[in-house]
Amino acid sequence: MSAIFLVLTGLLVAAAHYLPDSLFAFYPQFSRWILAKIGAITGPFPFAVWEVLALILILWAIYTLVRVIRRHIGLISWLAGILLGCSIGVFLFVGLWGLNHYGPSIDTYLNLEVGTYRVDQLEEATRYYAQTASQLADQVQRDEQGIVRFSDFSVLAGQATKGYEMLAQEYDCFTGKLSKPKKLASWYLFSHFGTTGIFIPFTAESCVNPDTFVASIPYTMCHELAHRQAVAAEDEANFCAFLACAENPSLEFRYSGYYSAFIYCYNALHKVDPDAADAVWAEISDNLKADCQAANAHYAQYEGKVQEAAQKVNDTYLKAFSQTEGVQSYGQVADLLIAWYLEKLI
């Protein structure tokens, strides 16, 4: 049975490679439709259903393994059962959502032409995002230390879908019918993994680590909601998150979006022209600088071997779905941000 599900998974991936026009004429719509049906069931729960199911499966696996060891029989059957469960899980993952990794890129749906850009174009876009983020940084609430302070997680989660509701009026690849993102109960573990959010296709839940630096929480919510809408590639989900934040009526979401866009473009610029990046940094507001520095200090506490190992696992996963840049694909969003700036604002 395990072999059957693995073969079926292979056939799905082969279809994505060799019959892309036929498959992706309907697959993204199917993926969004089936995820909407699943989300209608899991959405009303105030907690992440997948975390409960994962805990039950882990406890069940441990319990049955202990029984097998005590009886000294049935180990092969137990291993076969685990293999079958994993094979079914991989098949469902690929069938429900994973094939979106092979689909048309988001710029195709948004009529956005992405090309190769000069350093001066990157610098110009970076300066635009820096200036807008600086203006918004001076408007949001701050704590006694001068660091940005946002509304409670539940309040932000309730506002997270509004940007996509606006985008859905213009683009067919978005839908406003989304369940609000949920808080991860196992956030401490994810913080050590260096993970700010996760989307689980099996339960159609967009989940966010509440320990994420406060300025990035709204943006991360929109990133995970982008995955819910069949946007699989990380750089494309990042770009969709920016668009959704920019369209959101909430000041907190708009700041989070432009703050994140500035960070991505600044990092890309710093790699190719450190002097230009330093010049942009010198121009930003003190409040934006304070948030960037506070974010670096926040994430530094979790750096270590565990995070490195988790990043390698994530890197392997992304490359398995043809994202050849692996975890570096998170930074490719700069190309989309430059294209959007040049085409929409100039």
HEC string for 197-227 = EEEECCCCEEEECCCCCHHHHHHHHHHHHHH
What's the mean pLDDT in 63-89?
91
What's the mean pLDDT in 228-253?
96
Contact 148, 291 (CB under 8 A): yes
Residue 91 has pLDDT above 90, yes or no: yes
Here the tokens at position 338 are: 């430059």
Cα(90)–Cα(99) distance, integer angstroms = 11
What's the mean pLDDT in 89-94?
96
Cα(277)–Cα(329) distance, integer angstroms = 21
Question: What percent of the chain is modeled with pLDDT above 90?
Answer: 80
What's the mean pLDDT in 9-28?
93
Cα(188)–Cα(20) distance, integer angstroms = 40
Here the tokens at position 256 are: 């989070």
Q: Which of helix, strand or coil describes residue 142?
A: strand
Cα(49)–Cα(204) distance, integer angstroms = 10
- Write down the H helix ranges in 177-301: 187-193, 217-228, 234-247, 251-272, 274-283, 286-300
Q: Which comes out higher in pLDDT, residue 246 or 72?
A: 246
Buried b (16+ CB within 10 A) or exposed e, 204-237: bbbbbbbbbbbbbbbbbbbbbbbbbbbbbbbbbb
| Mean pLDDT of all residues belonging to the chain | 91
User: With bands split at pLDDT 50, 70 and 90, how would you rate the model's confidence at 327?
Assistant: very low
- Tally Cβ neighbours within 10 Å of residue 242: 27
Residue 305 has pLDDT above 90, yes or no: no
- Tally Cβ neighbours within 10 Å of residue 86: 13
Contact 280, 262 (CB under 8 A): no
Burial of 77 (C-beta count, 10 Å sphere; 0-12/13-18/19+): exposed
User: With bands split at pLDDT 50, 70 and 90, how would you rate the model's confidence at 314?
Assistant: low
Taking the CA atoms of 252, 258, 261 and 265 in sequence, report the sign of the dihedral they define: negative
What's the mean pLDDT in 320-326?
53
pLDDT recorded at residue 304: 59
pLDDT recorded at residue 331: 52
Cα(7)–Cα(13) distance, integer angstroms = 10
Cα(339)–Cα(128) distance, integer angstroms = 13
pLDDT recorded at residue 202: 97
Is the whole-model pTM more than 0.85? Answer: yes
User: With bands split at pLDDT 50, 70 and 90, how would you rate the model's confidence at 319?
Assistant: low
Q: Which of helix, strand or coil describes residue 62?
A: helix
User: With bands split at pLDDT 50, 70 and 90, how would you rate the model's confidence at 326?
Assistant: very low
Residue 13 has pLDDT above 90, yes or no: yes
Of 243, 222, 240, the C-alpha closest to 231 is 240
Residue 298 has pLDDT above 80, yes or no: yes
Residue 310 has pLDDT above 60, yes or no: no
Cα(123)–Cα(262) distance, integer angstroms = 11
- Model confidence pLDDT, tens digit, residues 92-137: 999 999 999 999 999 999 989 888 888 999 999 999 999 999 999 9
pLDDT recorded at residue 196: 95
- Model confidence pLDDT, tens digit, residues 151-191: 999 999 999 999 999 999 999 999 878 999 999 999 999 99
Question: What percent of the chain is modeled with pLDDT above 70?
Answer: 91
- Model confidence pLDDT, tens digit, residues 243-269: 999 999 999 999 999 999 999 999 999
Cα(297)–Cα(333) distance, integer angstroms = 24
Distance of CA 181 to the CA centre of its chain: 12
pLDDT recorded at residue 1: 80
